[in-house]
Amino acid sequence: MTGKGWRGDEKRFSNMRLTVIGTGYLGLTHAVCMADLGHDVMALDVDADKVARASKGEVPFFEPGLEPLLRKNLDSGRLRFTTSFAEVAEFGDVHFLCVGTPQAAGGSADLSCVHSAADALAPHLWRPCLVIGKSTVPVGTARKLAARIREQAPVGDDADVAWNPEFLREGFAVEDSFSPDRLVFGVASQRSAELLRQVYAKLLADGTPELVMDLETAELVKVSANAFLATKVSFINAMAEICEKVGADVVRLADALARDERIGKRFLVPGLGFGGGCLPKVIRAFRSAAKELGVESVVNLLGAVDAINLRRRSRLTDLTRDVVGGTLAGRRLAVLGLAFKPGSDDVRDSPSLQVCGQLVREGALVSVHDPVAMGNAAHIQPDLRYASSVSEAATNADAVLHLTEWADYRVIDPAMLGTVVAQRNMIDARCALDEEAWRSAGWSFRVLGRA
Ligand SMILES: NC(=O)c1ccc[n+]([C@@H]2O[C@H](COP(=O)([O-])OP(=O)(O)OC[C@H]3O[C@@H](n4cnc5c(N)ncnc54)[C@H](O)[C@@H]3O)[C@@H](O)[C@H]2O)c1
């Protein structure tokens, strides 16, 4: 696969020697896709086990289409892995920084991996080079990082820094890498912009819009895009809170709003809200940065977005308690879906997993199922019963909770599932199941956001 709609004129593009530092969800996908575009790529991680597995063609997380592409590019010789910073500095002059930026205590971004990667790389930079940040960072990071690298690099001011934020979605990472909506180049020099154009020449030739801007604006594009999407989710969930009070139907409301093309339906889905390794931590880090800068409007807006989102989780626990008769103690519950969203095995800040924790703390016996995320979930929450099928999870359940909208769950036969449960109670927290089909099979069907 080389992206859709290539013009196929390979001679027009010159291949480069690139390095990718950090081979998690983002870095491994980026390294594989850059190699598939024809570049020679060396990828580095400090985790030797990850490097060993990637070198054997193994992807340590679930991402459709990535593993065959990894193997193809290992076989072609265009992709290799290492743990040595000296080796990557020797190999290439364009280095992508893709390390993690987790949430620190208090909500700000923990930049320690960014700093340690820069500190490990810089002393080996003897030739003019470009370090391109792809990690999601607070505004102002790139400029400070450039000073930090130049101070330590033998090449001094000829070590340039650019920021090229990444918008790929887990579950669609390969597709998004080859067909991004736009390429954002945050640069401090013409030379950096030129190098970025060479790196992405094929995507640009394919019609991907190129947006060149200063470093700070590029950093802000990423965090404000996340903040906007999170706000859209929390907006409809705030409307759900109103609907619950007055007996209105948030599902019909969302549908009617979405038909206004200025609003649109994407991310306007009421339910359990957002989670994962990106949106929650990004809005908290953005809020924390806005606080430091004294920008109260952003602080207040993002504080409300986060609070509305987290309230959906406790609201679901309340609804479940109501459905099973006022107490969760001793009740058997089946939870369908643990990943923070379908198409991923990522359970970082998973709304479903947090709800499971609340249910267990109130004494419920919780059986769970997920097509791919059970291994990751079991590391975090071993006290759940992990079932190998939907029927096994639902056996003798007093209620079934649909918490991650995997396509597999849409095709469950309600009549068949009705034969194994103790009570036919379905709670659809993702507004994704066919209500009519469940009701006609004799189920009580509740939706989060409807009275
Ligand atoms: N996952 C996504 O869908 C996604 C999308 C867009 C942006 N991002 C951003 O990309 C960045 C990485 O996210 P991720 O999901 O890939 O994280 P991740 O935790 O999956 O991967 C981070 C990797 O960096 C490695 N690492 C840590 N310190 C290092 C160092 N000093 N040198 C080399 N490697 C080091 C870790 O071992 C790990 O393999 C974050 O800033 C994230 O916000 C992620």
Query: Which pLDDT band holds residue 226 (cuts at 50, 70, 90)?
Result: very high
pLDDT of residue 448: 87
Three-state secondary-structure class, residue 101: coil
pLDDT digits (tens, 9 = 90+) for 134-186: 999 999 999 999 999 999 999 999 999 999 999 999 999 999 999 999 999 99
Virtual CA dihedral for 431, 433, 439, 441, nearest 10 degrees? -160
**Cα four-point dihedral sign 295, 296, 300, 303:** positive
Model pTM score? 0.93
Neighbours of 311 (CB within 10 A): 16
Is 12's pLDDT higher than 60?
Answer: no
By most ligand atoms within 8 Å of CB, the mutation choice from 29, 33, 42, 45 for ligand 1 is: 45
Query: Which pLDDT band holds residue 450 (cuts at 50, 70, 90)?
Result: confident
Is 438's pLDDT higher than 50?
Answer: yes
Query: Which pLDDT band holds residue 1 (cuts at 50, 70, 90)?
Result: very low
Mean pLDDT to the nearest integer, 381-392: 96
Q: Which residues are catalytic?
A: 278
pLDDT digits (tens, 9 = 90+) for 131-142: 999 999 999 999
Q: Of the candidates 310, 333, 309, 311, which has an alpha carbon nearest to the alpha carbon of residue 321?
A: 333
Residue nearest to atom 10 of ligand 1 (CA): 135
- Let me know: does 129 contact 159? Beta carbons within 8 Å: yes
The conformational region for residue 106 under phi > 0 = left, psi -120 to 50 = alpha, else beta, is: left
> How would you write 219-242 as a 3-class SS string?
HHHHHHHHHHHHHHHHHHHHHHHH
- Locate tokens 């640069």: which residue? 187
How many whole angstroms from 140 Cα to the centroid of ligand 1? Answer: 19
By most ligand atoms within 8 Å of CB, the mutation choice from 20, 23, 26, 134 for ligand 1 is: 26
How many whole angstroms from 101 Cα to the centroid of ligand 1? Answer: 7
Residues 6+ apart with CB under 8 A from 295: none
Average pLDDT, the chain: 95
How many whole angstroms from 98 Cα to the centroid of ligand 1? Answer: 5
Nearest atom in ligand 1 to 168's CA? 5
pLDDT digits (tens, 9 = 90+) for 28-72: 999 999 999 999 999 999 999 999 999 999 999 999 999 999 999
Nearest atom in ligand 1 to 116's CA? 31
Q: In what order do the strands lie in the sheet with 210-213?
A: 79-82, 40-44, 17-21, 94-97, 129-133, 159-163, 183-186, 210-213
Assigned token pair, 247: 């007996």
The conformational region for residue 248 under phi > 0 = left, psi -120 to 50 = alpha, else beta, is: beta
pLDDT digits (tens, 9 = 90+) for 411-427: 999 999 999 999 999 99
How many whole angstroms from 23 Cα to the centroid of ligand 1? Answer: 7
